Structure 1
Amino acid sequence: MPLELQRIRALCFDVDGTIADTDDHIVAQLAAWIDKLPGVSGRRSERVARQVVMGMETPVHGAYALLDRLGLDTPVDRLRSRLRAVKQRGADPAHTRNPEALDEVPHEMMAGVQEMLHTLSKLYPMCTISTGSAPRVERFLEHFGVRELFTAVVGAQTTRRMKPHPEPLLYAAEKMGVAPSECLMIGDTTIDVRTGRAAGAQTVAVLCGFGTEDELKAAGAGLVLRTTSDLLAVLDPKEDPLHEQTASPEPTSAVHGKS
């Protein structure tokens, strides 16, 4: 089923892999560390790193099961600590005391997203929902001059539970003064899709991060877009001349999923 555009009153954005081009940097840093572990090297280290990063998005931290299958029980705690340090700069007091430490992970904004955010902020209240630390996200948004566009920045410590639990989105909806069902969750992983659906929100998935088209569709994404900036043509009438004629606009780079 297509998106119900008339229902959308607020936007919730994932950060890494959606508006921030950080995923590959995180994977590269972790892969370099994993490469030094016994039994893992080369391409396998990158594959393991990518799977571990995805696992860290879940409440049960799927990295443990993955490393157990690889026979890496001994260094698992060290790996978990290392990954937390890489993914959540600023969560550790040592990092928050040193602002420069927040910039240790290289990051850029996804192409076209900065302009898109400025345009969409005139149409909808917006927030970010991330499993990283709020200070890191705040610093990233401030660096690109878009922090003031967001009503709330929801991070790992903002709510008791993280994605895919609906609590972060429920919190964001309250801050924006809308019902969860009036929100649109935008993200690059099945975790983001599951979060939105669990909260009763509509969802858009993007292919510029970790998720694949098949798995995002299977998770129930209402719409799958090739890039985050493609969202502008879906939500801004000025960008899509067919917008007022149909409730399911289809930009040239869009791939439809489930409701």
Structure 2
Amino acid sequence: MRFSAVLFDLDGTLVDTVSLILESFRYSLGKLGLEAEEKEILNTIGLPLIDVCYGFAGDRGEELFKCYVDYQETIHDRYVKEYAGTTDLFEYLKEKGCHIGIVTSKRKVLAHRGLAVAGLDKFVEVVVALEDTEAHKPEPEPVLKALDILGVPVETALYVGDSPYDIRCGKNAGAATAGVTWGVSTEEQLFKEGPDVIVHDWQELKDFLEGQ
């Protein structure tokens, strides 16, 4: 095993929440008489929600944020599901003695809820969410915070995510990075960020971890 800790983004990496996010924005933007193209919404995944809301709604950002949060909590569990093979990957990492952590821009309560709904919470040792750091992706602080809690040197850590913000965050922290192609970003978008590896399924990540 090449790393002593593997950190993961949550939405679009471990759990499929794209439909949840799109539906939440469609509803909340509509309630405010606003709209945004699907591509615009997808391009914001990975950024702090409050920043995205101000980007879409200007000085009504707080109103949009509250509407989004209130509505999403009512539909959350129906939309969240793990990507195929994620449980098997986590079991593999545990067998190898590897630490598992989550670094997400999601609010802590929903991050834990999403992990529980997907049945992944029992594997995870640390969750660094929106409230846990002052700076957020793509700044390095969230990854460094998780590694500090785990007591793991950044040189022995890998951060896995599906967006350019994830790759930048990991690289800015000094960790190795892996991009996954089943989330919100294209392989071309990930390639431009220069991750150490781009994977198309979890088996390819296992191969990378084993040095193949």
Same fold (TM over 0.5): yes
In the alignment, the residues of structure 2 paired with residue 59 and residue 144 of structure 1 have an alpha-carbon distance, to the nearest angstrom, of 22
Contact preservation (8 Å) 1:32, 1:45: no
Q: Which amino acid aligns with 1:127?
A: G
Partner of 1:190: 164
Question: CA 1:38–1:59 in 2, change beyond 3 Å: closer, same or farther?
Answer: closer
Q: 1:116 aligns with which of 89, 93, 107?
A: 89
- The gaps in structure 1 that reach 5 residues or longer are 90-100, 238-246, 250-259
C-alpha displacement at 1:148, in angstroms?
2.7
CA deviations 1:111-133 (Å, max 9, x no partner) are: 11111111112221110111112
Report the secondary structure of 1:132's partner residue: coil
Alignment check: 8 A CA contact 2:138 2:165 kept: yes
Where do residues 138-217 of structure 1 align in structure 2 (5 Å cutoff)? Answer: 138-217=112-191
Q: 1:24 to 1:103 in 2, by over 3 A?
A: closer
Instruction: Return the letter of the residue paired with 1:17.
Output: G
Indicate the SS of the match to 2:130. Answer: coil
Amino acid at match of 1:23: V
Unaligned runs of 5+ in 2: none
- CA deviation map 1:23-60 (0-9, x unaligned): 222113312443566574xxx63233324x43x70599
Map of 2:80 onto structure 1: 107
CA contact (8 A) 2:48 2:105 kept: no
4+ residue runs over 6 A deviation: none
What do you get for the CA RMSD once the two structures are aligned? 2.9
Q: Specify the code of the residue in structure 1 equivalent to 2:7.
A: C
**Percent identical residues:** 24
Q: How does 1:76-115 map to 2 (within 5 A)?
A: 76-85=61-70, 89=73, 101=74, 103=76, 106-115=79-88
Larger Rg computed on CA atoms = 1
Compute the TM-score of the two structures, normalised by the length of structure 1.
0.70
Pairing 1:127–2:101 present: yes
d(CA) in 2 for partners of 1:120 and 1:85? Answer: 35
Quick check: 1:113–1:229 contact (8 Å CA) kept in 2? Answer: no
Structure 1 SS opposite 2:89: helix
- Residues 177, 46 of structure 1: alpha-carbon distance in 2 compared, 3 angstrom cutoff: same
Contact 1:204 1:224 survives alignment (8 Å):
yes
How far off is 1:220 after superposition? 1.8
- Partners of 1:103 and 1:59 in 2: CA distance: 15
Q: Quick check: 1:219 aligned with 2:209?
A: no
Tell me the amino acid that sits aligned with residue 192 of structure 1: D
Cα 1:132–1:38 change in 2 (3 A) is closer
1:27 matched residue in structure 2: 22
Distance 1:169 1:201 in 2: 8
- The secondary structure found in structure 2 opposite 1:128 is strand
Mapping for residues 47-66 of structure 1, pairs under 5 Å: 47-51=39-43, 53-54=44-45, 57=47, 61=51, 64-65=54-55
Q: Give runs of aligned pairs for residues 63-74 of structure 1, distance below 5 A.
A: 64-65=54-55, 67=56, 73=58
